[in-house]
Amino acid sequence: MNEPFYTSDWHIHSVASYDAHLHVADLVSQAEKQGLTDYGLTDHVNVPSWIHFLRASRELVRQYARPGFHFGVELTTISGYLERYDREHGTKEGYEKPDLPGPEPVAFPLTAEELDECGVEYVIGAAHWVLDAPRTQDVVVADMHRQNLYCACSPLVDVVGHPYCFFGTYEDRNGRQTPFDDFSIIPQSMHEELWAAIRENGKAMEANIDFFCGNHPEAFRRAYADFVRGAFEAGVPITIGTDCHGPQYNDRNDVCREYLGAVGFRAGDFSIPRFRKPRTV
């Protein structure tokens, strides 16, 4: 049996996430079998009124407490207009984007005080949706970069999660609707600016193992591995995140070894988040 390529996983969703099905009893059992020594729940909080998901996640971590099992959260970058509406109304239902010029302001759904109240040990900050229009190639690339930099510079964030995760399609320069599966459309200067911001702000960047699975084309997987390696060589600490949503916690050592090992990573190269509790003084 091969030695584990990674022994920590900092991006895992449980049944406390709105879109996940993983039972924590199964997680801790499988983690032990796979040789994980450190891992954490990072259930989704996408708007302020979803803090109840975080509280449910906290209770699961307490229920299954053991050495090496940590309590994190994945905060999604959202429109500042939506964040304000949800706080005022206690729900995102009924929200309509204001008809205002320019891109939507970027915000996180929780404050440092709310993170402290829940006892969060570390935060993954991650973008999922573009907050600008129209959905043309240049706009999409610029907005992904804008949100990634927001994560890298936010005092709330410890790990920048899955840079360049983008749902939906955009209009490429040939007028075709296409999903984001081509890293070459992102200028190298943007990569370098992001890596510098992560490093200078004392964050880590996630190697999201889900990017090596699913429907992602082979060229995308290889380019993503090169991107992660570039960050590492630029001095950015790299954490492993399987981004598991269940219903089973699967062993991704082979796929991690196949793609990250191919670009020079070795077991022992991966970092842990900076644990910060409390976040407010």
Average pLDDT, the chain: 95
Is the separation of the CB atoms in 171 and 177 below 8 Å? yes
Q: Which CATH superfamily is domain 8-263 in?
A: Metal-dependent hydrolases (3.20.20.140)
pTM attached to this predicted model: 0.96
List Cβ neighbours of 45 (8 Å cut-off, separation of 6 or more): 51, 53, 54, 73, 74, 75, 76, 109, 110
pLDDT of residue 281: 59
Residue 15 — pLDDT band, cuts 50, 70, 90? Answer: very high
Is the separation of the CB atoms in 250 and 213 below 8 Å? no
> Looking at residues 248-265, what average pLDDT do you find?
96
Domain boundaries, the chain: 8-263
Question: With 90 as the cut, is the pLDDT of residue 278 above it?
Answer: no
Residue 280 — pLDDT band, cuts 50, 70, 90? Answer: confident
Comparing 100 with 150, the larger pLDDT belongs to 150
